[in-house]
Chain A
Amino acid sequence: MRRRDFLRSAGGALAAAPFLALPRYAAWQAPWVLIPMDDSQADHLKAYGVVFRLLERGGRAEWFLNYRNGAFLLPSDPVTARDAALAGVTTEPLDEGTLLGIRAEIQMGNMEAVPLEKAPKVAVYAPPNAAPWDDAVTMALRYAGVNFDKIWDPDVLAPGGAGLARYDWLHLHHEDFTGQYSKFYLTYAGAPWLNEMVERNTAMARLYGFPNVPAEKRAVAEAIAAYVHQGGFLFAMCAATETLDLALAGAGVDIAAAYADQTPMDPNATTKMNWSRALAFQDARLELSPTVSQFSDIDGHEVNALSRRQELGSFRTFGFSAKIDPVATMLVQNHRETIPDFYGLTTSFRKSRIKPGVTILADEPGAPWAKYLHGEHGQGTWTFYGGHDPEDPQHQIGDAPTDLSMHPHSPGYRLILNNVLFPAAKKKELKT
C-alpha cells in the first residue's frame, strides 16, 4: 500500500476498527485472539511473523499501539491458532466483552487501535552472494517467517523504476553507496571476500555503462530515492543510512578515493555537497583519508577511528502521542524503552548533522547523537537505524552469526520488525 492511499483514507481509518466484526468473520463464533507484546510474550519476534502471515492470507488484524507494549488483535481462526502454536507465540483468547473493555481503555489513554490490512511486499537490497546471516533485517525476517525477495542493482536500475515498484518496503543494510567498498579496500587488501566484492561491483558498473563503481552506486542511490519519493517505504541500517545520503548529496562531486574511481577524492568535496538532495542529513564533513573506514562525521561513534571511537551506551525510544502520531508510535512499539547500543560502520547520527523536520525516534540521553530516525520524502517515508546487529554489539567481520532463537525478546530487533508491519497499517498523517 502506498502512503497516499492510506492518507486518502485517513479520516475513516480509526473508525474502521469494527471491521473485524464483519459477517465473514462472524461465522467463527470463537471471538478474538490477543497477542500480548509485554513481558508475558514468549517470542516477541515471531509474533510479527504470525501477524504478517495472517495478512498474507488475506486476513486483517489490529495493532493496539501502547496497549500491552503494542499488542495485536487477531480473529480466532484455526490456521492462525496453528501458526502461533508452531511459532511458540503467546496468545490470549478474548471474548467480546473483554474486547470492549480493552477498546474503552484504548479510547481513554495514550493508545490507539490501528487496522492492519495488507501484507507489504518486502525487498532486501543485497548482493547475490551476501551471506544470509550478515544482515540483521534478513535474520529478523527469516526468524519471524516474513517472506521477502532479495534484489540488487539490476532490479534497482531497471528502466522506469519498474524493479522497485513491485515492492512496498525496501531494506538496505551495510551497502556503501559511495562505491568505496566500505573503505575496507586497503585494510583488507587481498581478502577473498573483498576481491569478490570488487570484481562483482566492477562488472556491474561495466555492464550498465558506468565509468566506475562510485558512479554506478550513485545511480542506484538516486533510483532508491526516487522509489521513496513515489511512495515507497525505505528502511536502512548501518552504513547504508549514511552513504545513501552522501551519494545523493555528492552528485557531481568526487567523494570516492582513488582506489574506487582512479582519481583522488576532491579535497574540497565537503564544501561542494548539495544537501538539499539528501534524505536525513546536512552539513556533514567528509572523511578525506582513504585509509580510515569512515565516511563523514555523521556517525557519532566512529568505531573504526580508534583514537576517536566512542564507547557504547544505551539508547532510549521516545514516547509519542498514539492518537496524533500513530506512525512514530508504531515504529517505537516495544517492551523496553532503554536498549543497549550496538556498533556498526555507522552506529549513530550526530544531531548537529540531522536535517530539521526529521523525527528522532530514539537517542542516547545526554549524548550528541541519535540512533533511530524517521522522515518523509515525497509521497514515501524512510527510517534510518544505526548499527549492524542489535544482539552482537561489537560485531566484527567473520563473527559467528547471531542465532535469534537465543534472543526471542530482543528489543533492538523489535524495532526492525515494527518497520516491516508499519506499511501494512492504515494510518493517519504524522502530525509532528
Chain B
Amino acid sequence: MRRACLSLLLLFGLSASLAGQTELMTRAFEMERRSNFGAAADAYGEILRQYPDNLSALLGLERSLGPLRRDAELALPAEALLAGNPAATAAYSIAMRGWASAGRPDSVASVASRWATVEPGSEVPYREWGNTLLGQRDGNGARRAYLTGRERLGDPAALAGELALLAAAQNNWDDAAQEWALAMDRYPGYRLTARNALLRAPVAEHDRILRELSRGTPAARRLGAELGIQWGQPAEAFAQLMSSLPEGPPAAVEALRQFLDAARGAEGPEAARVRGQALEQLADRTSGSGGSRLRLEAARTYADGGDAAAARRMLAALAADGTTPPDMAAGAAATLVTVLLAEGQVAEAQRELDKLRQNLGQENADRLTLQVAEGWIQSGDLDRAEAVLASDSTIEALSVIGRIRLYRGDLSGATTALRSAGPFAGTREEATARTALLALIQPIEADSLPVLGAALFTLARGDSAAAVASLLQVADGLPVAGGGAELRLLAARVELARGQPDEAERLLRSAADSSAPATAPAAELVLARLLLSLGRNGEAVALLEHLILTYPGSASVPQARRVLDAARGGIPES
C-alpha cells in the first residue's frame, strides 16, 4: 500500500511537472511567434532553469537569442543540459556556437572533444567545430579544427570536402585541388560541389589545379577532365577522361554523361569535336533507339565542329542500322545535307534534300533549302541558287533573292526584294547586313549596275582583295554623293577587316566627303575608331568633335559621343 501510494505521488508529480513545462513552452513559443524575442528568450531561459534537460527550450532559446545578437548566452544552458544528458548531440553544437559567440575558442574545442568521446570515429563533431568557427569567420581556426579531426580519426581523407571548400574560399587553390582530389573517392556526392568550387579559380591557377588532379585517383582525374573542357583544353580533357573511364558499363556511361554535362557550355570547334567524341563513346555503350539518337547527336556535333568525315561516319552507321526509327533517319539525312554543304558538295546536298523533303517538316525543309541556295551562291552559280528558291515565298528566301539580284547588278530588283524581306527575316545580324546593303545602293541612281554586282559577289565569295579593287573601280565612276563615297566606305571596312589600316585610313578620308553628308559622318566615326586603335587619340578626338558639330542630325552622333567620352576617359572603355 505504501509503495502504491509512493508510486501514485511520483506519477502525480511527473504529470504536474510535464503540464507545467508544456504551459511555459506554449507561452515562450507565442512570444517568439510575435517576434518578441527578448521576452521569448527570458521565458525559454526560465524553463531551462527549472528543467535543464529540456532540449526544445534550448533550441527555442537559440532561435530567440540570435536576432538579439546574444548567442553567447547559449553556452551555459547547453552545458547544463549536457551535464545531465551527454548523449544529447544537438546540444553540443549549440554549446559550441554559444562559446564561439562568447569569444571562447578553447571552450569550443573542449566541447568538440567531449562530443568526439560520445561518438568515436565520427567526423560530425569536428565538422561542427570547424563550421562553428567559420560562422565566426575564423577561417584559420576552422582549418585547424578540421585537421585536428583528421588526425584524431587517423584518416587522411577525413573532412576533405570541408578543407577543400575552405581552401577555395581563402583562394588557396593548390590545397583546394589537393583536398578535392582526396574527397572524390570518399565522397562521390561532392563531385558537382567540387567542380563548381574549382571553377571559381582564377585563370592563372587552372594549369596547377589540373596538374594536381591528374596525379590523383581516376575519380579525381575525371574531375580534372570536367574542368579542363570548361577551361578551354578540350583535347587534353578528353584524353584525361578516357584514361580514367571506369571499366563497368553503367559507371562509364555515368562518367561520360557527367563529362558531357560539363562540356555543354564549352565553345569553339575543338570543343564541339570533343563533345562529338564523347557522344560517340556514349552511343557505343547505349543500345536501341537511345543509341541511334546519341549517334545522330554526335553527327550534328561533329558537323558543328567542322569534322565532316566523323559526321558522315556517324550517319553511315545510322543508315546501316536497321533498327533506326524513321524520324531519326530523317534527322540523319538532314544532318547529311548540312555536312555535304560544308564539304562544298552542293549538288549532292540538293539531291539528298529533294529525296527527303517530304519527310521533313516545313520549317526544316525551308531552312535546308536556304542553306542549299547559299551553297550555290558560294559556288558561284547564281542561276541554280535562284532556281532552288523559285517556289519559296518566305521572307528569308526574299532576303536571299535580293542578294542574288544585287550580285547580278539588278539594283532595282534587289531593292524591292530586300525591302520586302523587311526587318524580321533571319537573325539580327542578317537584318543589319540587309539594311547596310540597302543603304549602299540607295544613293546610286542607276537601276542596273552589273560591275557593282560583280564586285559585291566577289566580296560575298570571300575574295576581299579583288573585291576592294572592283569596288573602288566602280566608285570612281560614280558621283561622290551618288554612291561613290558609300562604296569607298565599304571598301575601307573591308581593308580594316583585312588588317590594312593605312589603306583603310586613306579610303575613309576620301569617303568622309562633306558633299556626301549621309556617308561622311559614318566614315568619320569609323576613322576615329581606327585612329584610337592606333593610339592617335588627339586626331581621333578632333575628328569626333568635327563629326558632332558638323553633322548634328546624323544617326552616328550618339555613337560618336560615346567614343569621344571613352577617348577622353569620361566612361570606361567597352
Contacts and interface: CB of A to CB of B under 8 A. Distances in A.
Contacts of B574: 403
Minimum-distance CB pairs A-B, first 4: A291-B137, A401-B572, A190-B171, A143-B570
B137 A403 contact: no
Interface of A: 82, 85-88, 132-133, 142-145, 186-187, 189-191, 289, 291-292, 307, 400-401, 403-405
B422 interface: no
A82 B137 contact: no
Nearest to B549: A85
B171 A191 contact: yes
B313 interface: no
A307 B135 CA distance: 12
Given A85-B552, A86-B545, A142-B569, A405 B561 contact: yes
Interface in B534-574: 545, 548-549, 552, 557-558, 561-562, 564-565, 568-572, 574
B571 A404 contact: yes
A189 B170 contact: yes
Given A133-B572, A143-B571, A189-B170, A307 B66 contact: yes
A289 B69 CA distance: 11
A142 B569 CA distance: 7
B139 interface: yes
B565 A190 contact: no
A190 B170 contact: yes
Main secondary structure of the interface of A (DSSP, over half): loop
Contacts of B137: 186-187, 291-292
Contact of B564 (A86, A132, A403): A86
B380 interface: no
Nearest to B140: A189
Nearest to A87: B561
29 contacts: A82-B549, A85-B549, A85-B552, A86-B561, A87-B561, A88-B548, A88-B557, A88-B558, A132-B569, A133-B572, A142-B569, A142-B570, A143-B570, A143-B571, A144-B570, A186-B139, A189-B170, A190-B171, A191-B171, A292-B137, A307-B67, A400-B572, A401-B572, A403-B571, A403-B574, A404-B570, A404-B571, A405-B561, A405-B562
A132 B570 CA distance: 10
Q: How many of chain B's residues touch chain A, expressed as a range?
A: 20 to 34
A151 B138 CA distance: 35
Contacts of A400: 572
Find the residue from A86, A186, A400, A401 having the highest chain B CB count within 10 A: A86
B172 interface: yes
Nearest to B569: A142
Interface string B126-149: 000000000011110000000000
Given A142-B571, A403-B574, 6 more contacts: A88-B548, A186-B139, A189-B139, A291-B138, A292-B137, A403-B572
A190 B140 CA distance: 12
B59 to A, nearest CB: 17
Nearest to B202: A192
Contacts of A190: 170-172
A189 to B, nearest CB: 6
A144 B549 CA distance: 18
Nearest to B557: A88
Contacts of A401: 572
Given A190-B170, A190-B172, A405-B561, A86 B571 contact: no
Interface in B211-269: none
Contacts of B138: 186, 291
A190 B139 CA distance: 12
Contacts of B571: 142-143, 403-405
Contacts of B549: 82, 85-86
A77 to B, nearest CB: 15
